[in-house]
Amino acid sequence: MKIAVLGGDGFVGWPTSLHLSDQGHDVHIVDNLSRRWIDTELGVQSLTPMDSIQERTRIWHQETGRRIHFHLIDLARDYEVLKSWLAAERPDAIVHFAEQRAAPYSMKSDRHKNYTVNNNVNATHNLLNAMVEIGLDAHLVHLGTMGVYGYSTIGAAIPEGYLPVGIETMTGETVKQDILYPTNPGSIYHMTKTLDQLLFQFYAKNDSVRITDLHQGIVWGTNTDQTRRHDQLVNRFDYDGDYGTVLNRFLIQAAIGYPITVHGVGGQTRAFIHIQDSVRCIELALNNPPAKGDKVKIFNQMTETHRVRDLAEMVARIAGGMVAYLPNPRKEAAENDLVVKNDQFRALGLNPITLEEGLLSEVMDVAKKYAYRVDRSRIPAVSAWTKDIAPTLEHDPEGKRLKSVS
């Protein structure tokens, strides 16, 4: 297939592009490179050295003989350019990663909230609008988040997108209907993914757009089979308080002798997936599209759940680190359970990679190799969910702040 990977320069987009190219697909990355500009804004860099997208694709061609094409387009702002590109290229499938992906970044300030809403919602709607306008019957696969469900404890497994309900009619009969599982987003970022869901429902119903929405858990790991082929193909590795995902952050903290920082009591249960499984799930979704006129196909793209404090203690045992419990910048329940169904991917043949010491050690080896690139001042998570929370946060977990002499 000819596949457009929107946001293909990002943490999941890049290894997905390599994986699909390795499968023989004609891959086109469409990206505005905004994630690189955000690094500049935050004064931080990927732990792993990242070459330009042009150099990365050149190395891929050198190593494999396969070409990945790059197109610089801002989906949220350049609607006419996007529409013209889609009309000219007419991809068979579109993988949509082109959204600001960090919950903490989306809560940093009013400006960051506005940016996240404008970028994410406009990008999704511009894409759907353009597909309909030019009559493009491509399968759209979108990377969403488990966070649309929220993390409340209800004592039942979260289904894959839809909840069967019974509604009592005026005559007293019960009518069965599938509705979207009630959303409970915990950040502006998660809220935009919730809005994406509604846009998908409308365009599938109104215009028969074929859509698969992947509600993904937290991604851990850094390398895939393809990124290991050459040092310059390495995936990005975020460790800062805004973009670093929780398990990866624990692993780098342990690797450099930094306190393993748990926020609150660590009772938050989260869903996880290894980066290799993430790209494999996207391939499986692409190979199993819904039919034209079907409702949106929704998968829970996760492989296991863990409580945050349990992960911290596990990393501490492996690496000999120290766990530090700090004030929580998020407005969330101190404890929650999380039971999630992921039957569809398992039925399609996914054999999940689970947390094992060998894989954790591999990530730590990467962290140690590039530890010289770490800016320790960027590690603390200090983007507060509310103004009341902000003054309570710990900006110096290592206790290295200079103390004034009285």
Rounded-to-integer distance, Cα 372 and Cα 331, Å: 34
8 Å CB contact between 174 and 166: yes
Gap between the Cα atoms of 249 and 260, Å rounded: 8
40 assigned to active site:
no
φ, ψ at 349 (rounded to 5°): 110, 10
Q: Could you tell me whether strands 304-307 and 174-180 are parallel, antiparallel, or unpaired per DSSP bridges? A: unpaired
Strand ranges (DSSP E) for 98-240? 139-145, 162-168, 174-180, 211-216, 218-220
| Pair 236, 53: CB distance under 8 Å | no
Residue matched to tokens 């039925």: 347
Select from 276, 288, 252, 266 the least CA-distant residue to 351. 276
Q: Which two tokens stand for residue 144?
A: 């969403």
Long-range contact pairs involving 45-48 (C-beta distance under 8 Å, separation at least 24):
45/373, 45/375, 46/236, 46/237, 46/238, 47/237, 47/238, 47/239, 47/252, 47/366, 47/367, 47/370, 47/373, 47/374, 48/222, 48/234, 48/235, 48/236, 48/237, 48/366, 48/370
For residue 291 the two structure tokens come to: 């039919």
Residues 6+ apart with CB under 8 A from 275: 12, 15, 219, 220, 221, 222, 223, 224, 235
- Which member of 115, 151, 181, 189 is catalytic? 189
Quick check: is 189 catalytic? yes
Given the residues 108, 113, 193, 297, select the one marked as catalytic: 193
Query: Looking at 16, 57, 145, 212, which residue is catalytic?
Result: 145
Would you please indicate which residues are annotated as catalytic (active-site) residues? 145, 189, 193
